[in-house]
Amino acid sequence: MSEIRVRFPPSPTGYLHIGSARTALYNWLFARKHGGKLVLRIEDTDLERSTQESIQGILDGLEWLGLDWDEGPYFQSAHRPEHVAVAQRLLDEGKAYPCFCSKEELDAKRTAAETAKTSYGYDGTCRRLTPEQASAKRSQGVPSVVRFKVPDEGGPVVFEDQVYGRTEKPLAEIEDFVIVRSDGSPLYLLSNVVDDVRDRISHVIRGADGLGNTPRQILLYQALGAPVPVFAHMPLTLDHNKAKISKRKHGEIVAIHFYRDHGFIPWALNNFLVLLGWSPGNDQEIFSRDELIQAFSLERINRSNAVFNYRKDDPKFFTDPKAININGHYLRTLPVAEVAALAKPFLVKAGLWDDAFDGERRAWYLDTIESTRERFHTLTDFAGLARAYFSDEFPIDPKALQKNLLQYPELEQLLPALADRLAALEPFTAETTEAAARGFAEEHGVKVGIPINAARAVITGQVKGPSMFEVFVHLGRETVVRRLRSAPQRFA
Ligand code: GLU
């Protein structure tokens, strides 16, 4: 198979979540690395559960992550006539047969097998019907499904999974499985193969939950005379309690839109996702897009389950700490103009944006991003922890309030006095404000750290931050003086 063609085939029954985004990412990386094509196929055959909203959410999520596809989106439901026709072809070629066994009959056989502690598989009753017997049943109106005829002879189904290695399944362990329901609807197992054959998929990279389907799907490829793709199954993603992550159990925290809304940088999330189940073989954790395309390989996908680790009880770690740390890394190291652009929607949303930040105050805005980002982890921090840079209305971090302000009642008088001192200072620079603050502290017999930490609390609301004298200059005399003068209100 010369051309590399992979696919991402989500079922649109919910939002794009971490597990499916990882599948998309691995397929995307593999396609990009090999100059192949990524096909997007919406597997919407479950019409009851598929929604337009979910389709849109998946497309938006992929776009936000920057995972572009080369073909599609194709819709599986549009190909239903072809799936039905393929089933008919298998019937015509004697590779499938109608099965008239009722649910009650099958259930009774299953229960009998369970009682006898033998394994259950369809016993082939209808496989032995003569064409006359089958058409008699049909004319009596007995409902039927279509079953695939698993070959009697031949070795086991063998495939070389790129992650899990050689896998073998004896034919005797595969029952004649259903490919079309009694209402005429094709089963997913069949539709998925027919679509992969039509889309000329060379590599199926999917979750380990697909491993159980693979032998039956290989039999279908063989029966259709189609080349069997290479399979690579990825480990499942579990939470720290070893439960499979799901939206039902974990809610929004596994949704891609959660990360977008909580201030993640798209590439940072990809960088986190790739490490959920893949490792480069050394301790490198940060990869640019091109580096990752270079480094990625199916062979380095882990076999053991990936752990999505987050601490529900610590709001600072509202998701996996590794995701937060990787995001923080990008936030601090990307070009400042890029971070400034990414932060803008969060400031707009918080009502803190000023159009002048794109005009005459651009330099000030870029400086604000540059000087505050050192301690930040998400883009929301610019509207949260850095709120005081954009508005007079901001809360003081309770730690700063207790430790740096309320502990020293004398600050209620000292801070307005410091304001007067700074109001009269000429020029107003980092050097002159520092000298003024030192002189002021000495005159009042306090360590300089006391009024400075308190000034940080009432001017920025924070315990820590960039040099306070630089903050004075950055925010400007007027703001600094105003906030120091209103400090006594913070004691109320
Ligand atoms: N539609 C399936 C899913 O979302 C894809 C299975 C496959 O990749 O073959 O789980």
Q: What is the Cα–Cα distance from 280 to 356, expressed in whole angstroms?
A: 44
Residue 84 reports pLDDT greater than 90: yes
Minimal-distance CA residue to ligand 1 atom 8: 206
CB-count burial class (<10 Å; 0-12, 13-18, 19+) for 123: middle
User: pLDDT per residue over 380-404, tens digit each?
Assistant: 999 999 999 999 999 999 999 999 9
Same domain, 442 and 474: yes
Q: Which two tokens stand for residue 220?
A: 């279908």
User: pLDDT per residue over 3-42, tens digit each?
Assistant: 999 999 999 999 999 999 999 999 999 999 999 999 999 9
User: pLDDT per residue over 405-453, tens digit each?
Assistant: 999 999 999 999 999 999 999 999 999 999 999 999 999 999 999 999 9
- Counting other chains too, the contacts that 343-346 makes at CB distance below 8 Å and 24 or more residues apart are 343/369, 343/379, 343/382, 343/383, 346/263, 346/379, 346/380, 346/382, 346/383
Same domain, 410 and 486: yes
pLDDT of residue 421: 97
Beta carbon of 195 within 6 Å of any ligand 1 atom: no
CATH of the domain at 289: 1.10.1160.10
Domain count, the chain: 2
User: pLDDT per residue over 267-297, tens digit each?
Assistant: 999 999 999 999 999 999 999 999 999 999 9
Expressed in angstroms and rounded, the spacing between residue 9 Cα and the centre of ligand 1 is 5
User: What is the atom index within ligand 1 of the atom nearest the CA of 23?
Assistant: 8
Find out whether 8 and 23 touch, Cβ atoms under 8 Å.
yes
User: What is the atom index within ligand 1 of the atom nearest the CA of 209?
Assistant: 10
Same domain, 294 and 336: yes
Expressed in angstroms and rounded, the spacing between residue 39 Cα and the centre of ligand 1 is 13
The pLDDT-based confidence of 1 (bands split at 50, 70, 90) is: low
Residue where a domain stops, chosen among 387, 418, 439: 387
* Nearest in space to 199 (alpha carbons), one of 311, 324, 391, 37: 37
Burial pattern 337-374, b for ≥16 Cβ within 10 A else e, equals eebbebbbebbeeeebbeeebeeeeeeebebbbebbbe
Q: How many CB atoms lie within 10 A of CB 83?
A: 24
CATH of the domain at 442: 1.10.10.350
Beta carbon of 147 within 6 Å of any ligand 1 atom: no
**Dihedral angle sign, alpha carbons of residues 353, 358, 364, 366:** positive
pLDDT of residue 437: 98
* Residue 349 within a domain: yes
Peptide linkage before 451 cis (omega within 30 of 0)? no
User: pLDDT per residue over 449-471, tens digit each?
Assistant: 999 999 999 999 999 999 999 99
Residue where a domain stops, chosen among 387, 410, 430: 387
- Which residues, at least 6 apart from 292, have a Cβ–Cβ distance to it below 8 Å? 29, 270, 271, 274
Q: Give the CA radius of gyration of the chain.
A: 32
Percent of the chain with pLDDT over 70: 99
* Residue 319 within a domain: yes
Expressed in angstroms and rounded, the spacing between residue 208 Cα and the centre of ligand 1 is 10
Same domain, 263 and 368: yes
Write out the residue range of the structural domain in which residue 438 sits: 398-491
The catalytic position among 33, 109, 137, 247 is 247
Q: What is the Cα–Cα distance from 240 to 446, expressed in whole angstroms?
A: 49
- Which residues, at least 6 apart from 253, have a Cβ–Cβ distance to it below 8 Å? 310, 318, 319
Residue 128 reports pLDDT greater than 70: yes
Beta carbon of 206 within 6 Å of any ligand 1 atom: yes
* Residue 407 within a domain: yes
Measuring CA to CA, how many Å separate 332 from each of 336, 338, 349, 374?
A: 8, 11, 22, 6
Find out whether 235 and 300 touch, Cβ atoms under 8 Å.
no
Mean pLDDT of 45-70: 96
Expressed in angstroms and rounded, the spacing between residue 186 Cα and the centre of ligand 1 is 15
Residue where a domain stops, chosen among 360, 387, 414: 387
Expressed in angstroms and rounded, the spacing between residue 100 Cα and the centre of ligand 1 is 29
pLDDT of residue 54: 96
User: pLDDT per residue over 289-311, tens digit each?
Assistant: 999 999 999 999 999 999 998 77
Same domain, 350 and 411: no
**Best probe residue, ligand 1, of 187, 206, 221 (max atoms within 8 Å of C-beta):** 206
Q: What is the Cα–Cα distance from 260 to 384, expressed in whole angstroms?
A: 16
Same domain, 454 and 372: no
* Sheet containing 71-75, strands listed edge to edge, beginning at the edge strand earlier in sequence: 5-8, 37-42, 71-75
Same domain, 423 and 358: no
* Residue 299 within a domain: yes
* Residue 379 within a domain: yes
pLDDT of residue 119: 86
Same domain, 368 and 296: yes
Same domain, 298 and 406: no
The pLDDT-based confidence of 263 (bands split at 50, 70, 90) is: very high
What are the beta bridge partners of residue 204? 231
Beta carbon of 43 within 6 Å of any ligand 1 atom: yes
Residue 155 reports pLDDT greater than 70: yes
User: pLDDT per residue over 167-185, tens digit each?
Assistant: 999 999 999 999 999 999 9
Residues across the chain: 492
| Ranges assigned E (strand) in 70-116 | 71-75, 96-99
pLDDT of residue 47: 85
Same domain, 383 and 419: no
Residue 314 reports pLDDT greater than 80: no
Residue 476 reports pLDDT greater than 70: yes
Measuring CA to CA, how many Å separate 42 from each of 54, 234, 447?
A: 10, 20, 66
pLDDT of residue 333: 98
Measuring CA to CA, how many Å separate 297 from each of 26, 33, 70, 326, 392?
A: 9, 9, 20, 21, 51
Tracing tokens 């990414």 back to the chain, one arrives at 342
Beta carbon of 10 within 6 Å of any ligand 1 atom: yes
Helix (H), strand (E) at residue 24: helix 18-33
Same domain, 380 and 262: yes
Please give the model's pTM, rounded to 2 decimal places.
Answer: 0.94
Expressed in angstroms and rounded, the spacing between residue 281 Cα and the centre of ligand 1 is 28
Beta carbon of 192 within 6 Å of any ligand 1 atom: yes
Beta carbon of 302 within 6 Å of any ligand 1 atom: no
Q: Which two tokens stand for residue 317?
A: 């770690």
* Residue 402 within a domain: yes
* Residue 69 within a domain: no
pLDDT of residue 125: 96
Please say if 247 is a catalytic residue: yes
Same domain, 338 and 361: yes
Mean pLDDT of 115-125: 91
**Dihedral angle sign, alpha carbons of residues 453, 456, 462, 467:** negative
Residue type, 45: T
* Residue 165 within a domain: no
